[in-house]
Structure 1
């Protein structure tokens, strides 16, 4: 089973990289682009077949290492 973890900054947390991407898009002529927020995707291959156990394990990974839960949100997507 594969897990995809989407990590993004929480609303209200300054996102300078997202701002820079938005400014670059505007300078390239994409004037209809509004606010841009950037994040990361982490793919994890799991040797677990039980979906609930896999999700619980990945959430624990997020809480302990993959996301800074003070300033970041995360979403777990299980594939397979």
Structure 2
């Protein structure tokens, strides 16, 4: 039996990495009068579905996907939430 999971992935720059886009947004917000905004960081949000035998394998595969394709592990961190959305029977 296969299970389908929805993965909600957040990729952010490591705290030690300068974020020029975040600095630009923060500056623009201050110019617009939002003086209370501090420490803007820009990241990525990705959703995908993955079909797997179980949650453990899905998590392991997602770790590999994030490490190899979706995030640059040298300068970025990632985290994901995994939600089972469907159980499927039969052969793919």
- With structure 2 as the length reference, what TM-score do the two structures score? 0.81
- Return the structure number with greater helix share: 1
Residue correspondence of structure 1 range 36-47 to structure 2 within 5 A: 36-47=40-51
- Return the structure number with greater strand share: 2
- SS of equivalent residue, structure 2 residue 68: helix
- SS of equivalent residue, structure 1 residue 46: strand
**Equivalenced residues, count:** 80
Q: Which has the larger radius of gyration?
A: 2
- With structure 1 as the length reference, what TM-score do the two structures score? 0.92
Unaligned runs of 5+ in 2: 85-92
RMSD over equivalenced CA pairs, Å: 1.1
Residue correspondence of structure 1 range 51-70 to structure 2 within 5 A: 51-70=55-74
